[in-house]
Amino acid sequence: MTRKIVLIAALVAALIAIGARMETAVQAQTSAPDKTATLNEKKVSEGEAYAKQLLMLMDRDQNGKVSKAEFMAFMEAEFQRLDVNKDGELDVKELTQTRLYRGGGHR
> pTM for the complete prediction?
0.51
The full length of the chain comes to 107
The mean predicted confidence, pLDDT, of the chain is 76
Question: How far, in Å, CA of 63 to CA of 105, rounded?
Answer: 13
Question: How far, in Å, CA of 6 to CA of 79, rounded?
Answer: 9
- Residue 107's pLDDT band, with cuts at 50, 70 and 90, is very low
Residue 19 has pLDDT above 90, yes or no: no
Question: How far, in Å, CA of 94 to CA of 103, rounded?
Answer: 19
